[in-house]
Amino acid sequence: MAPVLLVYAHPYPSRSRANRAMLEAVADLEAIAVRSLYDLYPDFGIDVEAEQEALAAAQIVVWQHPLYWYSVPGLLKHWFDKVLVRGFAFGEGGTQLRGKRCLWVTTTGGDEQAFSEPGIHAHPMSAFTPPVHQAARFCGMTWEEPFVLHGAHKIDAAALASEVKRYRRRMESLAREAQK
Amino acid sequence: MAPVLLVYAHPYPSRSRANRAMLEAVADLEAIAVRSLYDLYPDFGIDVEAEQEALAAAQIVVWQHPLYWYSVPGLLKHWFDKVLVRGFAFGEGGTQLRGKRCLWVTTTGGDEQAFSEPGIHAHPMSAFTPPVHQAARFCGMTWEEPFVLHGAHKIDAAALASEVKRYRRRMESLAREAQK
């Protein structure tokens, strides 16, 4: 069983540049199992049991996606609603995620300056973290420092390659720790 | 044309108590047009053109839903992603929502104490507002003070009736101002 479950949610995989490069850089790691939601469920018919099984088997849960309207894309939000339910993820008997580590990986079109009070998004990135962070926490997961790549639309090839390397190192280190 | 567009998103309409009572209390107002997303699009196939037309025709946009994982339910998030797009809601030529007023109406299972630092949700409700608020703002809409009903699971009939009245008054007042 792969100890790291990477739940990938890109609404337009073929238009992706940064997320795709990041995904490709880690998908071959033996410790990682990838579930690409928009490929698996183009019509939003999530197989809740399969998703819960994959979650239960993992030690580390990664949510990777481009930031859409300051949050997760629609299908990943639907996945939260359908998969992270009472009796599985919280409430009575809902202990399946407890103690797992959770890493949020997201890319933004806007650069870091855009995510500041004077910037066009009017808030630092940290203002948009609580809903995702608290969802993980409510399920008893340990929150890792998020991996955020800003400026995904305009990042040049060299900077992207460097970020991709940084991502792979991060995932390798998570995987090593999980296998201990 | 109804000046108030109420976009309603309850994943399980038949299980709803608070949201349904609130919706029923305002749905007969002439000034209000209701679009119930989970009824219109049970399979998530949003008619983007119809949604955009309804938005363009309105003066006031209301998003009403139970809070799911500290955010909008999956289908409403998908609606954000598909309907509020560049060229319509922002970016070049994307001025269709500019100057409209936006009211966020949400109900939570947890009571107000649950939404506090020592509470089970670890944050005040205001910590979960930025993604929704900033989405409205990025589209050029004016943000109204949100209408939040806490404790929807346990609220007694009298308290619910009083909240429902408060909601109807709020909507009547919005509608009156829109028709000026």
pLDDT given at position B1: 76
Q: What is the mean pLDDT of residues A118-137?
A: 98
pLDDT given at position A134: 98
Nearest to A69 among B11, B81, B122 (CB): B81
Give the tens place of pLDDT for each residue, B116-151.
999 999 999 999 999 999 999 999 999 999 999 999
**Residue A1 confidence (pLDDT) above 80:** no
pLDDT given at position B178: 83
Tokens in use for B63?
Answer: 């998003």
Contact B130 A128 (CB under 8 A): yes
Contact B78 A44 (CB under 8 A): yes
pLDDT given at position A31: 94
Give the tens place of pLDDT for each residue, A26-44.
999 999 999 999 999 999 9
Nearest to B73 among A71, A81, A123 (CB): A81
Listed residue (B81, B89, B97, B155) closest to A78, CA to CA: B81
The beta strands (E) that lie in A11-167 are given as: 32-36, 60-66, 101-107, 142-143, 147-149
Q: How far is A100 from chain B (nearest CA, A)?
A: 18
Which residues in chain B have Cβ-Cβ distances shorter than 8 Å to A73? 77-78, 81
Which residues in chain B have Cβ-Cβ distances shorter than 8 Å to A120? 138
Tokens in use for B24?
Answer: 């029923």
Tokens in use for B32?
Answer: 């209000």
Which residues in chain A have Cβ-Cβ distances shorter than 8 Å to B137? 122
Contact B68 A74 (CB under 8 A): no
pLDDT given at position B179: 74
Q: What is the rounded CA–CA span in Å between residue B65 and residue B9?
A: 5
Domain positions in chain B are 4-179
A15, A77, A104: best mutation site toward chain B, by most B Cβ within 10 Å?
A: A77
Contact A82 B74 (CB under 8 A): yes
Nearest to A71 among B77, B123, B127 (CB): B77
Contacts of A100 (CB under 8 A, 6+ apart): A55, A58, A59, A60, A61, A140, A141, A142
- Chain B residue closest to A69 (CA)? B135
pLDDT given at position B143: 98
Can you state the angle between helices B74-83 and A74-83, rounded to 10 degrees?
180
Q: What is the rounded CA–CA span in Å between residue A23 and residue A10?
A: 11
pLDDT given at position B147: 98
CB A85 within 8 A of CB A30: no
Q: What does each of the 180 residues of chain B score in pLDDT, given as a tens digit?
A: 789 999 999 999 888 999 999 999 999 999 999 999 999 999 999 999 999 999 999 999 999 999 999 999 999 999 999 999 999 999 999 999 999 999 999 999 999 999 999 999 999 999 999 999 999 999 999 999 999 999 998 999 999 999 999 999 999 999 998 877
Q: Give domain A4-179's CATH number out of 3.40.50.12160, 3.40.50.300, 3.30.1360.20, 3.40.50.360.
A: 3.40.50.360
Q: What is the mean pLDDT of residues A133-158?
A: 97
pTM score of the predicted model: 0.97
Tell me the residue type at B71: S
pLDDT given at position B67: 98
B43, B44, B90, B106: best mutation site toward chain A, by most A Cβ within 10 Å?
A: B44
CB B54 within 8 A of CB B62: no
Give the tens place of pLDDT for each residue, A147-173.
999 999 899 999 999 999 999 999 999
Give the tens place of pLDDT for each residue, A56-101.
999 999 999 999 999 999 999 999 999 999 999 999 999 999 999 9
Q: How far is A68 from chain B (nearest CA, A)?
A: 7
Tokens in use for B164?
Answer: 């429902």
Distance set, CA B76 to CA A45, A62, A129, B42 (Å): 16, 23, 19, 12
Contact B134 A123 (CB under 8 A): yes
The angle subtended at Cα A87 by Cα B125 and Cα B154, nearest 5°, is 45
pLDDT given at position B14: 87
CB A105 within 8 A of CB A167: yes
pLDDT given at position A157: 96
